[in-house]
Structure 1
């Protein structure tokens, strides 16, 4: 806005530079939907390490395929996970202590190890507390301690009361990681104190971990990701470590459709019984995972083998999706999302082998169908040895045949979508188009310098168009800005052909 000049002198005005920097979105935030020992239900919770997963969701659990997949994810380089805990008919442990209804903060048998202890402040302390809180002098305060004998976690809520006010018990417990007060509170009195040697009262109504997850449980868990701002990969581990996701109920297809809507990539685990290329391909067709939307997914076979600490170290087979997601995250950090998460550098940490040992001849049946194989090599160990999407079958000739090409395209789409929100409601004319070209061009040029595109020059690698040619007067009249962005993707060297010839003495090279 122009300044008003009223007196002689120098006037300074800050003028916007017009440059809008675009920041690339994270490429390996992995959403996991499944069964856990404890933790919030039907909401995505971000965890950045397996230690944090242990604290929030109870860690490794023999009846949770999710916990094993999370372990493999972080062990193989995963950085951030969005965990959605779902449960089927699980119940929380409960206790009514002297008229106060208490309930474990989440369902599961973990709540069976909770107990509470009550102590009282002295009369002098209670009087000072009441005065500080503006309550009557005869207000009855008490201290409530909650102990989790399973983890050793202990919480103490000092100076709580049944009287309405800032320290009312049910309000104070809203910050607890262990319990909640449910229902109404008695309006007078306070619980009797426990003795010095009294360990407190245990929760009497036992919690229940629930049953194996149904198809609807998985679908509800996927939809709970509406609450998440961003995720880029998705895994659906089975209820039990050696089990499968319910088949024939469109679980994988609905997850794939949701990933396409959120510009994310789905990692598919085939059922345990499907052990040949033909059977896996038939299963994929039966689940509806063969249409154009399948470019947002990849399938990996076979399962990985590793010791199970709950079975005295007996080696068992586990779904590979969590480990593969970790390999993708590791590759993104070290090389970029445009690098195929496969090859001798993609070793699966923690794996003692694979459920099936494939030879080159056997993989010949999988690769042309777009089924990625895990292989074991003498020096490299167990590695990811495939980088095709579910549209990677030779017969389809899809432009998004390869995992890195599709994931890089999704990265560009999401980054540019978020980075151009400022354009909305700006005057739609050449100054705006110039700003758009400068902003998007700088972002693409930075990626070019990192080696993200094919081509020796920026002209060969990408283009950004937003001008009078892409925005006709008809489009401008309708309030539309058309931005055209193109890029030359790097495709992995999937087949390396070496031609070797003996050189005859004296022959020209």
Structure 2
């Protein structure tokens, strides 16, 4: 606005200063998958684990998104979006009734058909007349599984649900218990109830991983002579694609995880690695299209080194290779401690991995690899599914598979920093994420340039702003070079904006960056020093 100076006096004018370029968010994650409650296909901002439980429910077995979000906050994450996906099929949760109380598995699927519920007296009551002892005012509830299911006495190859339950029993050292002359493994025990009212329902529904109280009239359920089996569970067909598409409208996202790709199975519950790979590629494609997301992918359960390499390289029959600079693959699975059940639980690695991403971004910057004995230290991971050796990593690392390893004196750490890309320009996670950060920062902060006169004044202003932003990054250690001129260049002038491009309404800003690469291979070279004639003097 041009001021009109009509009378003598002092006039104040505000002159626009340099427009600073604000760094884009780098550590806000999106978790797309299976949770207990909440609106479907609705990205919801969550800033703490308590906020998650209020909106989406508690930790549930065979719903790995809840565990991933839990670990994300445990390992350093501060905010994320959660998208609850819908069942596109006819999935059902297994159910059972004991008296007037109805129980159901905590998530959909055939896995719940292996569960059984046992109601018993809180104290041992003898009954000299034989038969079942009379119920006492105080009772216990146990979630059990037939020992034959775990011990494999039924024959055949166990499916994924059985493998996970077996791993849980073995890892936690659960011994079999004799109930009515038959062996069972007690997965969970809840003691000291006087009725099946509100306290009973709340305690089971917030603390159990395996079951929920679907309904109850508050009356004490009768004792079970033998455990009551849950039945009717049917596999779900989780619509991860629709959940992914909802992220296109969410701003400030930078990380992605879909932990429930690991539960994609055939109708018999057997792992379908081909379809799991297809789902991962769907997530990678979204990241590439948006150019703002980076995906931490999970491996199928219980694969050995050769199998996970085949999974990644696409050498499985009918599978596709996993190849993109916008994602990383972590291996193997991890065990974390569940304080509600006082037990260790198996989870895919994306949750704790993204927690370390967020921690590293906050403490150093997006240009630092979220790996190693410091930034890659997973403090809440108690064990790993497989103990990998240097020889194993010799095969995994060149194929872009980042390992989780247990190192002496350091514990469980992320010990890989590579993307799944075959393009050597984008070998490292930190390099790809640095470029995403710079690109999104410039995109967000240079919106003011649109529709401005495309002339020397604009070119100078843009060059000045971008140069200041990149100089700050160089000072922080994000770019390589002894001087800013060695670390980057910015060109926005007549050389790259000739008349013909200006007539088309186009403005070109050419930027070159020299990223800092991680010191992935540290070679310590030692030689013998030959002592001279005066070495002893």
Taking structure 1 as the reference length, the TM-score comes to: 0.72
Question: CA, structure 1 residues 370+150, in 2 after alignment: closer, same or farther (shift >3 Å)?
Answer: same
Change (3 A) 1:362 1:508: farther
Paired with 2:59 and 2:308, the residues of 1 have a C-alpha distance of: 32
Deviation of 1:442 (Å): 1.0
**What per-residue deviation string (whole Å, max 9, x for no partner) do you get for residues 4-47 of structure 1?**
23223333322323x21110011111110111111121111011
Alignment map for 1:75-224 (pairs within 5 Å): 75-88=74-87, 212-214=235-237, 217-224=239-246
Equivalent residues of 2:77, 2:359 under 8 A apart: yes
Give me the whole-angstrom Cα distance separating, in 1, the residues matched to 2:388 and 2:273: 27
Q: Which residue of 1 aligns with 2:320?
A: 288
Is structure 2 residue 475 aligned with structure 1 residue 446?
Answer: no
Is 2:441 aligned against 1:411? no
SS in 1 for 2:472: helix
Query: Which position in structure 2 is the counterpart of 1:251?
Result: 279
Q: CA deviation at 1:64?
A: 1.6
Residue by residue, what CA displacement relative to the aligned partner does 1:139-172 show, whole Å, maximum 9, x if unpaired?
A: xxxxxxxx999569xxxxxxxxxxxxxxxxxxxx
Shift of 1:439: 1.0
Listed one character per residue, the Cα deviations across residues 250-270 of structure 1 (whole Å, up to 9, x for unaligned) are 321111110112221111111
1:357-398 Cα deviation digits (max 9, x unpaired)? 01111211111111111110121100000001002xxxx451
Contact 2:331 2:349 in 1 (8 A): yes
- Tell me which residue corresponds to 2:336: 306
Change (3 A) 1:455 1:4: same
| Counterpart selection for 1:336 from 365, 380, 385 | 365
Alignment partner, residue 370 of structure 1: 400
* SS of alignment partner, residue 259 of structure 2: coil
Is 1:298–1:372's contact at 8 Å kept on the other side of the alignment? yes
Is 1:465 matched with 2:491? yes
The answer to whether the 8 Å contact 2:452/2:458 transfers is yes
Q: State the partner residue of 2:295.
A: 266
Contact 1:62 1:241 in 2 (8 A): no
Q: Is the 8 A contact 1:259 1:265 kept in 2?
A: yes
| 1:401 Cα deviation after fit | 0.4
Q: Helix, strand or coil: the match of 1:491?
A: coil
Deviations 1:188-213 (A, max 9, x none): xxxxxxxxxx99xxxxxxxxx99654
Moved more, 315-324 or 372-381: 315-324
1:227 aligns to 2:255 (yes or no): no
Equivalence map 1:53-92=2 (5 Å): 53-88=52-87
Answer whether contact 1:347 1:383 (CA < 8 A) is retained.
Answer: yes
Map of 1:12 onto structure 2: 12
- Shift of the 508–413 alpha-carbon distance from structure 1 to 2, 3 Å rule, reads farther
1:91, 1:258 → 2: CA distance? 29
8 Å CA contact 1:64–1:240 kept in 2: the answer is no
Q: Is the 8 A contact 1:63 1:240 kept in 2?
A: no
Give the corresponding residue for 1:297.
327
8 Å Cα contact 1:41-1:84 kept in structure 2: yes
Distance in 1 between residues matched to 2:7 and 2:233, nearest whole Å: 78
How far did residue 226 of structure 1 move?
Answer: 2.3
Instruction: Note if contact 2:273-2:311 (Cα within 8 Å) is conserved in structure 1.
Output: no
TM-score (normalizing by structure 2): 0.68
Change (3 A) 1:372 1:69: same
Is residue 236–residue 245 contact of structure 1 (8 Å, CA) maintained in 2? Answer: no
Which residue is 1:238 aligned to? 260
**Displacement after TM superposition at 1:354 (Å):** 0.6
| CA–CA distance in structure 1, aligned partners of residues 532 and 345 of structure 2 | 60
Give the corresponding residue for 1:401.
427
Residue 2 to residue 41, structure 1, CA distance change in 2 (3 Å): same
1:315-343, CA deviations, whole angstroms, 9 ceiling, x for partnerless residues? Answer: 34210001000011111111111011111
**How far, CA to CA, are the matches of 1:84 and 1:454 in structure 2?**
38
Equivalent residue pairs, number: 395
Contact 1:307 1:315 (8 Å CA) reproduced: yes
Query: What is the aligned partner in structure 1 of residue 354 from structure 2?
Result: 325
Q: Secondary structure at the match of 1:452?
A: coil
Tell me the distance in 1 between the aligned counterparts of 2:299 and 2:107. Answer: 29
Q: For the Cα contact (< 8 Å) 1:462–1:487, is it kept in 2?
A: yes
Gaps of 5+ in 2: 94-105, 109-197, 204-216, 219-231, 266-270
Partners of 1:210 and 1:433 lie apart in 2 by 64
Task: Pick which of 260-269 and 6-15 moved more.
Answer: 6-15
Cα-to-partner distance string for 1:252-290 (whole Å, 9 max, x where unaligned):
111111011222111111111432145433454265344
> Partners in 2 of 1:508 and 1:434 — Cα distance?
65
